[in-house]
Amino acid sequence: MDKLDSMRLFTRVVELRSFTRAAEDLNLKRSTVTDAIKQLETRLNVRLLQRTTRHVSSTLDGEAYYQRCLRILAEVEEAEMAFAGARPKGLLRIDVNSAIARNFIFPGLESFLVRHPEMTLAISEGDRLVDLVREGIDCVIRAGELKDSDMVARSLGHFQEVTCASPHYVKKFGLPDTLDALQRHHQMVGFHSSASGNILPLTFYVEGEERIINLPTSVSVTGSESMKEAARQGLGIIQVPHYGVAADLAQGTLVPILPQFPAGSMPVSLLYPRNRQLSPRVRVFIDWMVQAFSMHNV
């Protein structure tokens, strides 16, 4: 195993905090990983990792070496990219909400891969908070306000939200004409925030002032697709990005509720680890995502 391969292996052990998981991630035998780390420590004449029965952690020297490895590996990849004809290559791991993937990634993915034939994408779908470094994910796309984190955020735009319900719901509960009527006589489909675990309220803007309304719920969900399906079945009012229900609104399976009171907008961002230099794979993916979202006027 050459020095660069040893560095790559070492960084994965640090990030996953496990020899076994690093071996699985790199498709190697665990004994190969263990031997390589021992040889690396012998060559450097320093202990890089603390080993316990439960997990592996880096020593102070190991953390310093890990940070240098990240910079060196990124610079090597970028140096190779500098030659004429060189293209981004390798696996790019992305985590994204399923609705965003379906509407913004998959429609143009074939042309992206034609332009970058040496790249492959592994797309996991979710809204949960992820540890990008430990899970080996290169970047995530998230909608909503961002908490302070050690990740770099690139804005992709804002999703305009819409308040809606099914015709069946409107027939049963009536169509509210004021926010007070909404609060007195109606219910919503509850959506649990992955960040707080709480059910998100409805938000409206009245002459520029924000008004927060909590309605009773008969059902609550953790996924955006389930929320929309619950609304189609007449189980309550929802607020969602317009792009996700545009077809329903056009077909009449969902109808607008209180359109005179805007529901506001939701920021959407692409995030990647702050402690890593931006790899060519991530860089071209970001450029493509910015273009894809701008084409949707987001």
Query: Confidence band (pLDDT; 50, 70, 90) for 276?
Result: low
- 48, 93: one domain: no
Give the position of tokens 């939701």: 266
- 111, 243: one domain: yes
- 68, 154: one domain: no
pLDDT value of position 262: 93
- 249, 111: one domain: yes
Single out the residue in 63, 81, 99 at which a domain terminates.
Answer: 81
Cβ atoms of residues 269 and 142 within 8 Å: yes
- 107, 177: one domain: yes
Per-residue pLDDT at 217 exceeds 70: yes
How much of the chain, in percent, has pLDDT values that exceed 70?
91
Query: What's the rounded mean pLDDT across residues 178-188?
Result: 95
For position 23, which CATH number holds?
A: 1.10.10.10
pLDDT value of position 26: 83
pLDDT value of position 76: 82
- 29, 109: one domain: no
Range of the domain at 223: 89-298
Give the position of tokens 């953390």: 63
Query: What's the rounded mean pLDDT across residues 76-89?
Result: 70
Single out the residue in 81, 115, 136 at which a domain terminates.
Answer: 81
Query: Confidence band (pLDDT; 50, 70, 90) for 51?
Result: confident
- Give the Cα separation of 116 and 284 in Å (integer): 9
Per-residue pLDDT at 227 exceeds 70: yes
Query: What's the rounded mean pLDDT across residues 20-33?
Result: 88
- 65, 93: one domain: no
Per-residue pLDDT at 130 exceeds 70: no
**Three-class DSSP category at 17:** coil
pLDDT value of position 132: 66
pLDDT value of position 246: 92
Positive or negative, the CA dihedral 108, 113, 119, 124 is: positive
pLDDT value of position 89: 82
pLDDT value of position 134: 64
Per-residue pLDDT at 148 exceeds 60: no
pLDDT value of position 91: 85
- 108, 53: one domain: no
- 175, 63: one domain: no
- 118, 229: one domain: yes
Its pTM stands at 0.69
Cβ-based neighbour number of residue 249 at 10 Å = 14
Name residues whose C-beta falls within 8 Å of residue 260's C-beta, 6 or more positions apart in sequence. Answer: none
Give residue 50's Cα distance to chain centre: 31
**Three-class DSSP category at 46:** coil
pLDDT value of position 40: 92
- 130, 247: one domain: yes
Query: What's the rounded mean pLDDT across residues 148-174?
Result: 90
For position 110, which CATH number holds?
A: 3.40.190.290
- 38, 96: one domain: no
Query: Confidence band (pLDDT; 50, 70, 90) for 153?
Result: confident
pLDDT value of position 84: 52
Pick 76 or 221 by higher pLDDT: 221
Single out the residue in 52, 81, 110 at which a domain terminates.
Answer: 81
Query: What's the rounded mean pLDDT across residues 256-269?
Result: 92
Per-residue pLDDT at 121 exceeds 80: yes
Q: How many domains does the chain have?
A: 2
Give the position of tokens 């991630």: 25
